[in-house]
Structure 1
Amino acid sequence: MERTRNSWKCPIFGDLNDLKDNVLPTYGDVMRFYEWTRHRLKYERERNKEPTYKEIEAIVVARLIEIWAKSSIPTVEPKRMKVMLQTYHLKCKNLLKSNPRIPKNTLEGFRLGSKALFDIAACKCQEFLKCACPKNKKIPARERGFITDQRTARQMVIGALDVVTTTKITKTLKRKSIRENSKSKRLKKPKHVRKS
């Protein structure tokens, strides 16, 4: 990895950078961001001590959660995200260990595989009509086209806040909250027993 801030590079993924806010990241994007974060932390500290894996992991997972929240797609728990990140990070590390001896086709195959979505969606179903996931993990109907695109062609982007849809969702949640509050009040209300 090179030292100057403007030209941080990785032998596998090339230029290092922050994650984009308008698309869901691929494995390659996540690893570029991981290495970018590692270099940034080291650069900001102005010393040669490497940041720990846990420090970098916390920043990467928080950033993933932030981006996926914009897409309104339910995600797996942070614990699972950490496992996915650690597994892929180890693959990259092992590949780099054998760097001078890596066959060109192996490296190209690895780079090609890194273009797949770093899929932390809670629902992995391909056929949404047959989805049996719990309601809180299902992909909302309005986001199904987007997640399908991100898992395949990757031509769509996360747009600006949809005010109309957000207003509808907010009103729905408010009504649901009012219903639940009134129901819980009715259940808590003591019943008076008549004395004869």
Structure 2
Amino acid sequence: MGRRKVEIKRIQDKNCRQVAFCKRRKGLLKKAKEISILCDVDVAVVIISNRGRLHEFSSNNSLSGMLQRYESHVEAEKEINAEIQVAEFSNHFEVEIALEILRVHNNGRTATNNRKTHLMLECAKDLHEKLLQEKLLQEEKKHLEDNIASIKKNTKVNEMSDLPAPHIFCGQQRVTLNFL
């Protein structure tokens, strides 16, 4: 028999939760060490328990150095993303707006995110309005098609009722047959 599958949810019993934390923390740190050795990569793990205790592992014995590398990497990615955004915006908006977004991005990420969100909401609103207009036009088209079909049907009925009634002559007497 193999292991039973553990349901991933919060452990309610405090003692069981603490035991599971200790075992899994050790396992996680062991796996981090193994991956750093096997794959020759730098690995850092930081764990803060619910009691506020700090547990850490760094494959190169300099957690602060790894954190600095991480921050510089994240900043470089954000600058690249900002340049990509400027290129995309310049296709759709004036160059001044794109430069303003870049300046705001360099001064603070919040302003850029707000502007980006605002522009995305405007585009979504425009798209929603166009979809509503299209839906209304389709409904109007269907209504007009129904009216045309109804008019054609009424015209055919009227043409048939306007025809003179056929007459049958029997000798000198005339007999009129009315249809409809």
Higher relative contact order by CA 8 Å / sep ≥ 6: 1 or 2? 1
Which protein has the bigger helix share? 2
**What is the TM-score normalised by the length of structure 1?**
0.29
Greater C-alpha radius of gyration: 2
Output the TM-score relative to the length of structure 2: 0.31
